[in-house]
Amino acid sequence: MRKNDATLQLSKEAMRTYGYKVVDAVIDHFDTQYKKLPVAYATRDEMDDLFKEDIPEKPMDADAVLEFVLKEVMTKSTIVSHPKTYSFVPGPSNYIGAMADTLATGFNIFSGGWAASPAAAELEIITMNWLLKIFGFPVVKGGGIFTSGGSMANLTALVTARRIKCGDDFSKGVIYISDQTHSSNIKAIRVLGFKKEQIRVIPTNLEFKFSLNKLKNAIAKDRLKGLKPFCLIATAGTTNTGTVDPLSELSAICKSEDLWFHIDGAYGGAAILSKNGKSLLRGIEKADSLTVDPHKWFYQPYEIGCLLVRNTKHLTGTFTEKPEYLKDVEGNRSEINFYDHGIQLTRRFRALKFYMSIKTFGLQEFRKAITYNIELAEAAEALLRKSPNWEVISPATLAVINFRYNPIDSDLSEKELDKLNQYISGKVVDSQKALLVTTLLHDQVVLRMCLINPRTTLTDIRETLNLCDEFAEEYKRS
């Protein structure tokens, strides 16, 4: 047999030089991103013209490939950590987390089972226990798992709820959600095979919160029909408005009706670290399962979501499989195999960035940053209310605020105001100076800001609103 020279390796010196270039590029990005335009867009034809090629058979110079990627790929993505990225849920990230991901990937750590990496498993246990304490879950019985994001965490929770409450027959099972529930939950429900008629979408009240009376009525009617209500999904920080459902009251309903109580706190859960957020999130500790997304308001790089449960046996009882090829690595009861807690067998070492970030900055810094974000949104609301051109549609709640251009001397109809605000959003995005898009509240087109970036300032917001005013004047002149 001939000697293999296809080792897919570089020399030690080449790796060091290459690595320094990558790290320098990341540092430069963190240092200068606020000077760049946050919005990137291109057509499919433009991207095909730039990137489309047959798979290369021959090697290229590694530095040339890197330079091409830095020049053409990294510059053509919206900067979600930019101070003027306000839309959706921005990803502020942090440098320690990014470097931790580099370590986890560089060492190629398999974080599925204890036998493969006891240190990785232990750090996931430790950080999971931190989160259990933060959210008031029982540390001894409770548990959880890091996932790719909130979508997978919600899916994992609903698989568990279905098994615990319905067993193998869920043909009569009914799930209750509000009209502000995140789309990932609806997708998860469909993935699990539930039919449309097994989903109850409960209208929210004027504050966009779960309507308790309508929920009780729906549950009562379903029981009279011989159906099996088994799960309720509440939201701690809705995407549209940052609203928190009445968690304590919903918990009491779930307890009396024997429903699994899942809280989707992917967006707002981290706000529990602030005084204001902790008050709004009262009752979150009563959930059977809770989704939190560290890559949102815990400032971690993508991807890291998290599912917490009150009873870790509910996860292991749902996901544990014992194929013959894993028999030799089962370990003892104290050695947790996280592939028994969720869907994935092969898992990257997500816990490392959360662990290193918290250790480096301390929880106090995260608490300060989250408090700043909440206060920044409140300051933005005050700014809007002082202007004759703007009206607040949904007040600042957990760093989310909704508003629209509607001058006090305006005689525009509702449809014309909708067009005007849509125009403002489109022009702002086209300018690439800020990412500010619309949503729909009370059948009105409104502008929405999500202010969870600790590097966003009130000056950034003023500049963006001034830009909006300019485009509004432009629209009125046209």
Contact 419, 405 (CB under 8 A): no
pLDDT of residue 122: 97
Are 120 and 177 in the same domain?
A: yes
Mean pLDDT of residues grouped by 10 in the chain (478 residues)? 89 97 98 97 96 96 98 97 98 98 98 95 98 97 98 98 97 98 97 97 97 98 98 98 98 98 98 98 98 98 98 96 67 83 97 98 98 98 98 98 96 96 98 98 97 98 98 94
CA separation for the pair 207, 200 (Å, rounded): 20
CA separation for the pair 266, 263 (Å, rounded): 9
Query: Does residue 6 form part of some domain?
Result: no
CA separation for the pair 154, 233 (Å, rounded): 10
Are 73 and 121 in the same domain?
A: no
Contact 202, 218 (CB under 8 A): yes
Query: Does residue 45 form part of some domain?
Result: yes
pLDDT of residue 3: 87
Contact 423, 475 (CB under 8 A): yes
Are 182 and 290 in the same domain?
A: yes
Are 51 and 156 in the same domain?
A: no
184 Cα distance to chain centroid? 10
Query: Does residue 95 form part of some domain?
Result: no
Contact 393, 140 (CB under 8 A): no
Query: Does residue 318 form part of some domain?
Result: yes
Are 277 and 343 in the same domain?
A: yes
Residue 57's domain comprises 12-77
Beta bridge partners of 445: 440
Are 64 and 137 in the same domain?
A: no
**The CATH number of the domain where 191 resides is what?**
3.40.640.10
Write the DSSP string, 74-138: GGGS--TTSTTB-SSS-----HHHHHHHHHHHHTT---S-TTT-HHHHHHHHHHHHHHHHHTT--
Which of 84, 194, 141, 157 minimizes the C-alpha distance to 305? 157
Are 213 and 292 in the same domain?
A: yes
Query: Does residue 382 form part of some domain?
Result: yes
- The 8-class DSSP code of residue 72 comes to I
Which of 207, 145, 156, 214 minimizes the C-alpha distance to 184? 156
The helix (H) or strand (E) run that includes residue 294 is helix 294-297
- Domain finish residue from 320, 344, 361: 361
pLDDT of residue 322: 78
Residue 98's Cβ-side half-sphere holds a number of Cα atoms within 13 Å equal to 14
Predicted model pTM: 0.97
Helices and strands counted in the chain (H then E)? 16, 11
Are 291 and 381 in the same domain?
A: no
Query: Does residue 93 form part of some domain?
Result: no
Are 333 and 380 in the same domain?
A: no
Are 288 and 369 in the same domain?
A: no
Handedness of CA 95, 96, 100, 103 (dihedral sign): positive
Cis link prior to 303 (omega < 30° from 0)?
yes
Query: Does residue 20 form part of some domain?
Result: yes
Query: Does residue 19 form part of some domain?
Result: yes
Are 229 and 376 in the same domain?
A: no
Dig out the tokens for 233 from the structure. 């999904």
Q: How many domains does the chain have?
A: 3
64 Cα distance to chain centroid? 35
Exposure string over 356-389, b if 16+ CB within 10 A, otherwise e: bbbeebeeeebbebbbbbbbbbbebbeebeeeeb
**Amino acid at site 53:** E
CA separation for the pair 235, 244 (Å, rounded): 6
Gyration radius (Cα) of the chain, Å: 24
CA separation for the pair 266, 149 (Å, rounded): 8
Dig out the tokens for 127 from the structure. 């950080």
Question: In angstroms, how far is the first alpha carbon of the chain from the final one?
Answer: 77
- Domain finish residue from 331, 361, 391: 361
- Domain finish residue from 314, 329, 361: 361
Which of 284, 222, 227, 288 minimizes the C-alpha distance to 254? 288
Are 68 and 134 in the same domain?
A: no
**The CATH number of the domain where 464 resides is what?**
3.90.1150.170
pLDDT of residue 265: 98
